[in-house]
Amino acid sequence: VVMGRACRNTANIKNRQPIGKMFVKGASDLPEFYQDIVTDELNVKEIELTDDVRAFTSYTFKPQLKTVGPKYGKLLGGIKNELSNLDGNAAMDELNATGVLKLQVNGQEIELTKEDLLIDMAQMEGYVSESDYGITVVLDTNLTEELLTEGFVREIISKIQTMRKEAGFEVMDKIRVTYDGSEKAEKVFAEYAEQIGQETLAVAVEKAEPAGYVKDWKINGEAVNMGVEKQGE
């Protein structure tokens, strides 16, 4: 969950925005009970346990100047060049298996250990990964129109709940929600009025001149003006 949150932060996707899928390597014995907790905490539709995340990640290597410089000073430029052209996953496999990375530079064999290297995990576009404790988490940050709409609805609900509090309503007070806004915002409101109403105890969610406690919002870049009014028992 912590690594998944870090992935969300890197991708700048807030937790209310659902994500389609996450991949987890190194936790093949994660029972379904805990998988459900992870997907719920991270607002992810599906979790896939995998032995291989190569489709989403690779590695990049640079020389650690303070160790490589003294050993191979004149060859530094060539070493940098060779490292930048490596197949990152294959090089990481070699390093993990043998403890050294062997390169040919100007006809000379060079051996570099992990201490000689600055290693970064490179990520495929649309995927963000974090690794720690032998576990790698990859989030698919490609958001479909359906996922974006679901995120929009969650944002609307959250804003109405905020307005209920600010207006001083009791938790169980029934309300009426009125709105106007951009074409996209109004379309989402109209399509999901029932869900919005159920989650905010609104007996009506309707396009009208916002009344009661009124507030302007920017939701996912869309302008929305909303009003909340308490309704009789």
> Per-block average pLDDT, block size 10, for the chain (233 residues)?
94 94 88 94 94 80 86 84 86 86 85 87 83 88 94 96 95 94 94 96 95 94 94 72
pLDDT of residue 42: 96
Contacts of 67 (CB under 8 A, 6+ apart): 115, 116
pLDDT of residue 233: 57
Cα torsion 80, 72, 103, 119 to 10°: value is -50
For 128, half-sphere exposure in the C-beta direction (CA atoms, 13 angstrom radius) is: 16
**35-43: long-range contacts (C-beta < 8 A, 24 or more apart)?**
37/1, 38/1, 38/4, 41/1, 41/4, 42/1, 42/4, 42/5, 42/8, 42/15, 43/15, 43/16, 43/17, 43/18, 43/19
CB atoms closer than 10 angstroms to residue 172: 6
Q: Which residue has the tokens 């905020």?
A: 162
pLDDT of residue 84: 87
Q: What number of residues does the chain have?
A: 233
- Strand, helix or coil at 13? coil
- How do the domains of the chain map onto residue ranges? 2-55+124-143, 57-123, 146-230
Tokens of 59: 């590695």
pLDDT of residue 36: 95
57-123: what CATH class? Answer: alpha beta
> What's the maximum distance between 2 C-alpha atoms anywhere in the chain?
87
Sheet holding 135-140: strands in order across?
A: 44-50, 19-25, 135-140, 127-132
- Strand, helix or coil at 55? coil
Cα torsion 16, 22, 28, 32 to 10°: value is 40
| CATH number for region 146-230 | 3.30.2320
